[in-house]
Amino acid sequence: MSNKDKHPEKEEPIKQEEIENQESPNTEAAEPEAEATEADKVQEMGEKLAELNDKYLRLYSEYENYRKRTNIEKADLLLNGSREMMKAILPVIDDFERALAATQDEGVSLIYNKMMKILEQKGLKPMNVKGEKFDENLHEAITRIPATEDSQKGLVVDVVEKGYYLNDKVLRYAKVVVAF
């Protein structure tokens, strides 16, 4: 038998003392570790809070921008939503004007005036360009003719097709003859 087998009782108390000696320094070291991990947790939670707050603010800003953009689009749609319809009606207005020029029928004149009054209430306005200086942002030059006077150079001499505004935006450019 070995020495260990003969005296097992003696070794146990030594081991227990060693264990106790080892535990006591570890428990003292464990307390600062617990404080350190608690401080780390607080710092980690603070960082997470800052991150979540940043995400929230970005999301809120994005939503506000979206809301403003859609409100602007809705307002624009209300103002200019009838743009295509008005564009489709313009040839009918041109036909009415030709009919008025060909005949002096009072009924046609009455219908034309009523229709123009309704269209003006909806934002449609005709361009009055004859005698004005040519502006490529408003006019489309169909042809140029020589000016009879120097004062007529660069002016609109004749209107081939009337131009129109819808809510102060050009709906159809006026087709004009320009003196050079």
How confident is the model at residue 82, as a pLDDT?
83
Q: Tell me, yes or no, whether 108 lies in a domain.
A: yes
Q: Tell me, yes or no, whether 98 lies in a domain.
A: yes
CA 10 from chain center: how many Å?
86
Whether residues 95 and 107 share a domain: the answer is yes
Q: Tell me, yes or no, whether 2 lies in a domain.
A: no
Whether residues 64 and 12 share a domain: the answer is yes
With the CA atoms of 170, 172, 176 and 178 taken in that order, what torsion angle do they form, in degrees rounded to the nearest 10? 30
Q: Which H or E run contains 171? A: strand 169-172
How confident is the model at residue 105, as a pLDDT?
86
Average pLDDT per consecutive 10 residues, the chain (180 residues; last block may be shorter):
49 51 49 73 93 95 96 84 89 93 89 94 92 92 90 91 92 94
Whether residues 34 and 107 share a domain: the answer is no
How confident is the model at residue 32, as a pLDDT?
60
Task: Please give the Cα distance from 158 to 132 (Å, whole number).
Answer: 10
In this structure, are residues 129 and 148 in contact, taking their beta carbons and an 8 Å threshold?
Answer: no
CA neighbor of 180 nearest in space, from 158, 149, 140, 142: 149
Full residue range of the structural domain in which residue 26 is found = 7-80
Whether residues 33 and 21 share a domain: the answer is yes
The answer to whether the pTM exceeds 0.85 is: no
Domain boundary among 80, 105, 128: 80
Domain boundary among 28, 62, 80: 80
Domain boundary among 80, 115, 133: 80
Q: Tell me, yes or no, whether 97 lies in a domain.
A: yes
Neighbouring residues of 96: CB distance < 8 A, sequence distance ≥ 6:
108, 111, 112, 115
| Helix residue ranges per DSSP H, the chain | 3-6, 8-80, 83-102, 106-121
3-state DSSP assignment of residue 170: strand
- CATH code of the domain covering residue 101: 2.30.22.10
Neighbouring residues of 140: CB distance < 8 A, sequence distance ≥ 6:
173, 174, 175, 176
Q: Tell me, yes or no, whether 1 lies in a domain.
A: no
Whether residues 120 and 141 share a domain: the answer is yes
How confident is the model at residue 18, as a pLDDT?
52
Whether residues 87 and 175 share a domain: the answer is yes
Whether residues 65 and 111 share a domain: the answer is no
How confident is the model at residue 31, as a pLDDT?
60
> Count of domains in the chain?
2
The tokens of 89 are what?
């009606």
